[in-house]
A and B are shown apart, each in its own frame.
Chain A
Amino acid sequence: MSGASKRFGETQALDNVSLELASNEVHCLVGENGAGKSTLIKILAGAENPDAGTITISGRRYANLEPDTAMELGIATIYQDVELISSLTVAENIFLGREIRRFGGSIIDFKKQEQDARLLMDGLNISIPEWAIVDTLSPADQQTLQIVKAMGRDARIMIMDEPTSSLGLQEARALMKLIRDLRDRGIGIIYISHHLEEVFEIGDRITILKDGRVVKTVDRGDATQQEVTTAMVGRESPAFHNRSEIRRGSEVVQAEGLSKDGMFSDCSFQVRAGEILGIGGLVGSGRSELVRVLFGDMFPDSGQIMLRGEPYVPVSPKDAIHHGIAYVGEDRHIQGLFPGRPVLENVSVIHNESSFMLNHRVEAQLAFEATGQMNMVMAGLSQRAGSLSGGNQQKAIIARWLLAEFDLLILDEPTKGVDVGAKSQIYQIMDHLVEEGKAIIMVSSDMPELISMSDRIAVMRRGRIVRVIDSKDADEQQLVNEYLGLTGAEENER
């Protein structure tokens, strides 16, 4: 693949990316969320067409691939989510879409299919029973089955996107072994993973993507994990925001030992008035679930919360709002916006909940002031919120809380998918709110944001708060290490 580019609207998802894959190597792709890995896979699988660049496979050159040509060329993609039909047997899944038929094609020869499936799996040293219903298989076996399915189609290039994300350690090891096996049979593998240990265990070469560009491609022996993470996160011009110094007040929220099975366990933290507590960690580390507890949208199995020194057990978001807690969720389309309703109603919803009758004059005045404070760009208060730009939608959702009384504001990915201008506007409002003595808890995947906006950063890994760092002492490198639980970080655990 050479010089591939892809643009989605204003985002340059891929910019002149070249990648080379030999027939018996494992080539790992690493990069932050949004670095362009998924786009790259989609182009190879034929799901997206590149704007520029070519793909050369076994000497033949293509400007783009269609899904069926990709399949014919032996390119198989194994996505994060298992794509199998769970009510069918292993053998039926392997032969899905190319069933073995008899009697002139009208009847599927299940027996022959099972025999062939057995042969195929024996050849790969896989012991999954061919007659088992997929639903009854473990996630690891399902993942393996996807690989078998691809092999059954004579795949020569296999693309694996986070194949171990739902597997335990043992299972992941078994998968690694299978991948090495495949490589030794002459199959080229593109392997995408967040887990650098895995990458260094299995990869022959490693390509680091950042902001749609290839930072570099290195041989495994020539780089350390540190060098790779630095290349992943390194920024030329950090988008840091300078916060003003604020004197912290009394404790607003103190959480003790919050646990919820499968989501987070034994999490304790506290936030003071005038303070921003950042929560960092990988997506899926339990960050969003933990903060939803404070808003009465998730109920912990155990642990307590003290709000302004009093025990606090929110039963619903309504209850939490009455207790002075505000919340802006990570996905504004699902959790915040009323896309079909005018900006006015989107902004005044919290304020209006306090009385039965609407006061149109007061409501319009307050909404006007709040949207002005947020510097919102819009045709007017009657514009439908769904037709605003992403940044202005987010501002509208934050603006609704400006019309409410609260002591603690919870922001989950407050600047996700918003433009630079809106971003700094949101930072200014946050700054302003803490100056007024509000406390803020901010979950964020944006490292510069986390470091520059937070006073302290709680790092979550696999549902636990593994460390709380003063943001003055934090750098991106250290945070990534903490997120991934790399060597050196473990000793510092509380």
Chain B
Amino acid sequence: MNVGFGQAWRQRIVKNQWFFLLLVVIALSVIATIVNPRYFTLRNLRNLLDQISVLGLLACGATILIISGNFDISVGANLGLSACVIGLLIGIGVPPAVSGAIGILVAVAGSAFIGGAALLFRAPSFIISLAGISVFQGIALALTGGTLQTIYGEYEALGSTRFFGVLPLLFVIGLMGYFLVHFILTKTQLGRRVYAIGDNKRAAFLAGIHVTKNTMVFFLLNGFFVGCAALLMIARVGAAQPSTGAGMELQAIGSVVIGGAPMTGGRGSILGTFFGVLLWGVVANSLNMMRVNPYFQQVTIGLLIIVAVAVSSLRSRAEGKL
């Protein structure tokens, strides 16, 4: 076994995980097109972009949290609650714009609750947010009585507008989320704090960074993205129920991890997350197009995360040797 070659190969992945992801996306697309030519049609690609816009916004928030060494696995339930609130408000005649704004505030409050509790009790946000799932779902169930809340096509313009007949408005909004996070992470000191706190919390504190306050800001940003995602979700689907968004936390965190951010924090980029989300969408969509049994789709997606974690671990080991 040629050790030098192995290291070079590893280093290339280290340097360009997103490039690697792009290759996988292309390869999967080629296979899917061969199996089912309908994969590579405007209609399906449009669908695909639609599907990943909500996930993209959730992954944007998760990127900030994971790089800073935090976790919020309640984003799916939080999204469900926020979407239900929007549905309920529209149902009683509140103007859609106001309903949407309130929905976003609900999600911000939900994420602030998770972050605040984690900071207050110095508990891992992972555990706090695990409990948060139950809290948010419970509130959503109580508010709706478990029933479906339709919005009578109120956000039709948001949900079905397509630029040039192909680029969904939803996807464009999702893209704006990536750009916002990219801007924060690379152009502002707030972004540097995300990395610094995730890499070495104690050193960040001693360098004059207010760790508690900034961590709270990260959670507020996360809540904002969850709220926007809820709005997009209800616009796309036209209705909400307490189980809306359930399981999406796995996809969001999975996308960030596939994108190359280690679970220990301190590293990662939004470009990685973007391709992580894209890969996620392509896998789900192409499995569908190849008529793979939905249950096996779940298995595939689970295995995908394991592969991503393995690559991520390989990365840090390779970097340890540099």
- Using a CB–CB cutoff of 8 Å, the interface residues on chain A facing chain B are 295, 297, 316-318, 320-322, 327, 329, 334-341, 345, 349-350, 352-353, 355-358, 384, 387, 400
Contacts and interface: CB of A to CB of B under 8 A. Distances in A.
Contact of A358 (B189, B208, B209, B266): B189
A400 B207 contact: yes
B203 A335 contact: yes
Nearest to A355: B189
Contacts of B189: 352-353, 355-358
A207 to B, nearest CB: 39
Nearest to A348: B192
B190 A356 contact: yes
Given A338-B266, A345-B192, A353 B200 contact: no
Nearest to A404: B208
28 contacts: A297-B205, A297-B206, A318-B208, A320-B208, A322-B208, A335-B203, A336-B206, A337-B203, A338-B196, A338-B203, A338-B204, A345-B192, A345-B195, A345-B196, A349-B209, A350-B208, A352-B189, A353-B207, A353-B208, A353-B209, A356-B189, A356-B190, A357-B187, A357-B189, A358-B186, A358-B192, A384-B319, A387-B322
A270 B206 CA distance: 23
Given A320-B208, A335-B206, A338-B203, 15 more contacts: A295-B206, A297-B205, A297-B206, A316-B210, A317-B205, A329-B206, A338-B200, A340-B199, A341-B196, A341-B199, A345-B192, A345-B196, A349-B209, A352-B189, A384-B319
Nearest to B316: A340
Dominant secondary structure at the B interface: helix
Interface in B181-226: 186-192, 195-196, 199-200, 202-210
Q: Which of A318, A334, A350, A357 has the largest count of B CB atoms less than 10 A from its CB?
A: A318
Contacts of A349: 192, 196, 207, 209
Contacts of A357: 187-189
B192 A352 contact: yes
B267 interface: yes
Interface in B267-310: 267
Contacts of B187: 357-358
Q: Which of B188, B207, B322 has the largest count of A CB atoms less than 10 A from its CB?
A: B207
A320 B209 CA distance: 12
9 closest A-B pairs by CB: A318-B208, A340-B266, A321-B208, A338-B199, A340-B199, A349-B207, A352-B189, A317-B206, A338-B200
Contacts of B200: 334, 337-339
A339 B319 CA distance: 11
A334 B195 contact: no
A337 B207 CA distance: 10
A345 B191 CA distance: 11
Contacts of A384: 319, 322
Nearest to A332: B203
A461 to B, nearest CB: 27
A345 B206 CA distance: 15
Given A334-B202, A341-B266, A349-B196, A317 B188 contact: no
Nearest to B212: A316
A386 B190 CA distance: 22
Nearest to B321: A387
Contacts of B195: 338, 340-341, 345
A349 B200 CA distance: 13
Contacts of B204: 338
Contacts of B319: 384, 387
B128 to A, nearest CB: 24
A3 to B, nearest CB: 34
Nearest to B264: A340
Contacts of A400: 207
A349 B189 CA distance: 9
A320 B206 CA distance: 10
B203 A317 contact: no
Contacts of A339: 199-200
Nearest to A342: B195
B322 A336 contact: no
Nearest to B207: A349
Contacts of B190: 356
A355 B190 CA distance: 10
Contacts of B207: 317, 349-350, 353, 400
B209 A327 contact: no
B181 to A, nearest CB: 15
Contacts of A350: 207-208
Contacts of A358: 186-189, 191-192
Interface string B121-158: 00000000000000000000000000000000000000
A295 B208 CA distance: 10
A71 B171 CA distance: 67
Contacts of A318: 208-210
A339 B320 CA distance: 11
B299 to A, nearest CB: 33
Contacts of A352: 189, 192
B192 A336 contact: no
A350 B203 CA distance: 11
A340 B206 contact: no
A338 B192 CA distance: 11
B47 to A, nearest CB: 38
Contacts of B196: 338, 341, 345, 349
A479 to B, nearest CB: 29
Contacts of A295: 206
A381 to B, nearest CB: 14
Nearest to A383: B322
B203 A336 contact: yes
A342 to B, nearest CB: 10
